[in-house]
Amino acid sequence: MQTRSSGKIQRVAHRHEPEVSKQTGYPSAATHYMEAPIDLNKELVHNKDATFFVRMEGNEWSKLGIHSGDVLIIDRSFSPRKHQLVLAVEEGAFTLQRMPEASPHELCLWGVVTYVIKKVV
Amino acid sequence: MIAMVDCNSFYASCEQVFRPDLWGKPVVVLSNNDGCVIAANKEAKALTDIPMFEPVFKIKDVLVKNNVKFFSSNYTLYGEMSQRVMNLLGTFSPQVEVYSIDEAFVNLEGMDHLDLHHYGMQMKETIFQYLGLPVGVGIASTKVLAKLANKIAKKKPEHNHVYVMDTETKRIAALKWAKIGDIWGIGGKHAKRLKSIGVFTGYDFTQLPLSWVRKEMTVVGERLWREMHGESCLDFRTLPKKKKAIGTAKSFGQKLEDLERIEEACAYYISEVAEVLRAQKSCASYVQVFVITNYHSKVDQQYSKSMVATMPIPTNNTFALITEARRVLRQIYKPGYRYKKVGVNLCGIIPQEYVQGNLFEQPPHTQNPNLIKVVDALNMKYGKSTVASAMIGTRINEWELIKKERSPRYTTQWGELLKVGGSELTIKSPIF
């Protein structure tokens, strides 16, 4: 049980979690190998202040492997390289496309797609 | 040097980021209960017949006729976008003072070796690229001058939204350009008085003797005068001042007669303000409640009344505050009137750790603090009023009121993400 000491008085800190004790028997072999668990926010979001999530509707982009309901992670801090998947704006509407090698027209970029999240269950 | 960065028509710009169909089109944002226009972008401002702060019902025809897109205010979105702007500014300086939801002072002390114009451009371009929000940057030696530089950046198109006031000539030219009422810190009353003695521009003001300014406008005026001379007097504050009083009042969607319904609205507003109180770790000593009928109406009987109650012990506990507010409301409520508005104010605000108990009661934060913590945590995670006092009743949406035109909370709710695609779009042939 965790205790909190305030001066000479020790009181029990209430926690609403199951109480799991530290290993009380044989010392763990993993003691010196503990690491923080994987945090998707850290792995998938490079610059959180420039990152937006976007949900796709319809199957217009199934050729690009993107289907209705997929969530795209868009990072606006990236400068797109050719062939990268980008969210752009054409005639006032969003469109998804590969970054062309040489822009035939001025491409109005909204952000670079960094990951696609698919729900499969 | 100090930079003043502010977002151009912030609320409308936030809406436009996610709506490319509205780029370059007039957009306005309405106040909390869709009562008035509180923000307009430059396209909407160009249609000069849209008066700001006018009740919407009076100007709806003008909005529709001019094809102005109007949104209910989406403070969740604006607050989150504002946080991002401030975070980005934090990458340019270790010290950023958030002045309001869309303005900040950035301390550039010790960065004189940089090309400050270029640095200001970088701030502007980064925020526009990362967030899609246009900003203006004014850089000068003091806060008051930075604020003025910002105005110049915005008003004079040749500066392209970034202006550095780095020479004496520029300072004097700017002060001569600025009308006295436009100087940050000179209110309407002082402006009127100064004009009456022949002070029309900022420059005129700096030519007044300091002794006169100190005598007539106190130390506040003196600081202003010194700041305008380029002597920095206003500190960088990175911690906000705690609020002295917190209140809210919103008009009902329709007029209400029924005490029970008004009580529910009152309880809802108390929960809102108590949350603010807890966020700043304070307690309120008094609670004020007022009711008012619709003074625009010519046929209704008019009545309004306000009353203050003292809390037995200063508290920030929603439930204790609701109980007290309800008692007050029952005293001021008179049947037979059609009420337009109920409002609450919490005053006598003191830091939570200074609250004294009395013989009969303990200070509130020692009584069952976990319940209210859980309530706050749930509401933070699942959205406003997910869990609330049953006194609020089931008509929460009515108290949040006509938010018909509110945009999705794109950045905070998984269920309201920006949607891309759908049938109305034409298929673009992708280039591989």
How do residues B3-41 score in pLDDT, each as one tens digit?
Answer: 999 999 999 999 999 999 999 999 999 876 666 788 888
Lowest mean pLDDT among B123-127, B215-219, B271-275, B370-374: B370-374
B315, B364 contact by CB (below 8 A): yes
B60, B42 contact by CB (below 8 A): no
> Collapsing DSSP states into helix, strand and coil, what is residue A11?
strand
The whole-number average pLDDT for the span B130-152 is 95
Whether the CB of A93 is below 8 Å from some CB of chain B: the reply is yes
Q: Measured between CA atoms, how close is A28 to chain B, in angstroms?
A: 35
Q: In what order do the strands lie in the sheet with B96-100?
A: B96-100, B103-107, B2-7, B135-140, B162-164
Integer angstrom CA distances of residue B425 from A57, A71, B164, B416, B422? 11, 18, 44, 20, 6
Query: Cα-flanking dihedrals φ and ψ of residue B318, to 5°?
Result: -50, -45
> Collapsing DSSP states into helix, strand and coil, what is residue A118?
coil
pLDDT of residue B432: 35
Token representation of residue B280? 């700043």
The whole-number average pLDDT for the span B151-173 is 93
> Collapsing DSSP states into helix, strand and coil, what is residue A83?
coil
The whole-number average pLDDT for the span B246-256 is 76
Assess whether pLDDT exceeds 50 at residue B425.
no
Q: Measured between CA atoms, how close is B69 to chain A, in angstroms?
A: 15
Q: Measured between CA atoms, how close is A76 to chain B, in angstroms?
A: 5
* A48: nearest Cα among A70, A84, A86, A77: A77
Cα(A80)–Cα(A86) distance, rounded to whole angstroms?
A: 7
Assess whether pLDDT exceeds 70 at residue B429.
no
Q: Which of A72, A93, A100 sits opposite B21 (nearest CB)?
A: A93
pLDDT of residue A99: 85
Please judge whether A60 and B425 are an interchain contact, meaning their C-beta atoms are less than 8 angstroms apart. Answer: yes
Q: Given pLDDT bands bounded at 50, 70 and 90, which one contains residue B421?
A: confident
Cα-Cα-Cα-Cα torsion B203, B206, B209, B214, nearest 10 degrees, comes to 130
pLDDT of residue B137: 97
Assess whether pLDDT exceeds 50 at residue B143.
yes
Please judge whether B418 and A68 are an interchain contact, meaning their C-beta atoms are less than 8 angstroms apart. Answer: no
Give the whole-number percent of chain A exceeding pLDDT 90: 44
Please judge whether B420 and A96 are an interchain contact, meaning their C-beta atoms are less than 8 angstroms apart. Answer: yes
Separation of first and last alpha carbons in chain A: 39
The whole-number average pLDDT for the span B299-311 is 86
Give burial (CB, 10 Å; 0-12/13-18/19+) of B428.
middle
For residue A38, the tally of other CB atoms under 10 A from its CB is 7
Whether the CB of A60 is below 8 Å from some CB of chain B: the reply is yes
Whether the CB of B142 is below 8 Å from some CB of chain A: the reply is no
Cα(B326)–Cα(B329) distance, rounded to whole angstroms?
A: 5
For residue B161, the tally of other CB atoms under 10 A from its CB is 19
Query: Cα-flanking dihedrals φ and ψ of residue A94, to 5°?
Result: -75, 145
Assess whether pLDDT exceeds 90 at residue B153.
yes
Please judge whether A71 and B417 are an interchain contact, meaning their C-beta atoms are less than 8 angstroms apart. Answer: yes
Assess whether pLDDT exceeds 70 at residue B133.
yes
The whole-number average pLDDT for the span B246-254 is 76
Please judge whether A55 and B419 are an interchain contact, meaning their C-beta atoms are less than 8 angstroms apart. Answer: yes
Give the whole-number percent of chain B exceeding pLDDT 70: 89
- Per the model's pLDDT, the better-predicted residue between B201 and A30 turns out to be B201
Integer angstrom CA distances of residue A68 from A60, A74, A119, B412, B432? 8, 17, 10, 21, 21
> Collapsing DSSP states into helix, strand and coil, what is residue A94?
strand
3-state secondary structure chain B: CEEEEEECCHHHHHHHHCCHHHCCCCEEEECCCCCEEEEECHHHHHCCCCCCCCEHHHHHHHHHHCCCEEEECCHHHHHHHHHHHHHHHCCCCCCEEEEECCEEEEECCCCCCCCHHHHHHHHHHHHHHHHCCCEEEEEECCHHHHHHHHHHHHHCHHHCCEEECCCHHHHHHHHHHCEHHHCCCCCHHHHHHHHHCCCCEHHHHHCCCHHHHHHHHHHHHHHHHHHHCCCCCCCCCCCCCCCCCEEEEEEEEEEECCHHHHHHHHHHHHHHHHHHHHHCCEEEEEEEEEEEECCCCCCCCCCEEEEEEEEEEEECCHHHHHHHHHHHHHHHCCCCCCEEEEEEEEEEEEEHHHCCCCCCCCCHHHCCHHHHHHHHHHHHHHCCCCCCCHHHCCCHHHHHCCCCCECCCCCCCHHHCEEEECCCCCCCCCCC
Instruction: Provide the residue type at A79 as one letter.
Output: S
pLDDT in tens, B164-204: 999 999 999 999 999 998 899 888 888 898 999 999 999 99
B30, B70 contact by CB (below 8 A): yes
Chain B CB contacts of A47 under 8 Å are 130
pLDDT of residue B105: 95
B382, B315 contact by CB (below 8 A): no
Q: Given pLDDT bands bounded at 50, 70 and 90, which one contains residue A45?
A: very high
pLDDT of residue B431: 37
Element holding A43 (H helix, E strand) = helix A40-44
Whether the CB of A77 is below 8 Å from some CB of chain B: the reply is yes
Mean pLDDT of chain A: 85
